[in-house]
Amino acid sequence: MLILGLDPGTATTGFGLIKKEGKKITSLDFGLIETDKEISSPQRLILIHKEIKKIINKHKPDVVAMERLFFAANAKTAMDVGRACGIMIFTAAKANLEVFEYAPMTIKKVVAGNGKADKKMVQKALRKILGARVRSKKNGKTHFDNAADALAVALCHAYTIKVDKGGEK
């Protein structure tokens, strides 16, 4: 099973693709979709759609797992990220992919064993599970936190999916 994990954002969206074969889980790809804050919100959403569509067409995942929007203090940011989440769900649905959403605390609990784990704890758990090769890519500007969060969402799904006699679901 190929699982595409997404960490939604408008400026930076993280993506992570993992492969689950039985109990073996492998990281296949991860990175960022970045948009320029100087372009309009609708243009940013179009860019996010195009980039996720490219990733889906390239890797052909079986499902998409996303971090559920967590509403904090900034309502404007939450609205913008909510729009980006809608675009991501739409893009996956257009590709006939089922979308699963997970709360941040659930992801941290499943991956790092603690629902209140900080980013460093989650990244340490990711490296332990997926191997030391899951490191920040050296391309100048990186936000490995976003890509790591996306890998964590994909792992959360891999660990929580139901399995029946016919195989994985």
pTM above 0.75, yes or no: yes
pLDDT, tens only, 92-134: 999 999 999 999 999 999 999 999 998 889 989 988 888 755 5
Q: Is pLDDT above 60 for 66?
A: yes
Are 16 and 28 in contact, with CB atoms under 8 Å apart? no
Q: Domain containing 107: what range?
A: 2-168
Q: What is the CATH number of the domain that holds 43?
A: 3.30.420.10
Number of domains in the chain: 1
The residues, ordered by sequence, that sit 6+ positions from 105 with a Cβ below 8 Å of its Cβ are: 115, 116
Q: Retrieve residue 107's tokens.
A: 């992801």
Q: Retrieve residue 124's tokens.
A: 């340490």
Task: Report how far apart the first and last C-alpha atoms of the chain are (Å, whole number).
Answer: 9
Angle at 145 between CA 24 and CA 26, to 5 degrees: 10
Are 124 and 144 in contact, with CB atoms under 8 Å apart? no
Residue 73 CA, distance from chain mean position: 23
pLDDT, tens only, 22-53: 989 999 999 999 999 899 999 999 999 999 99
Say if strands 24-34 and 163-164 run parallel, antiparallel, or are unpaired: unpaired
When pLDDT is cut at 50, 70 and 90, the band that residue 73 belongs to is: low
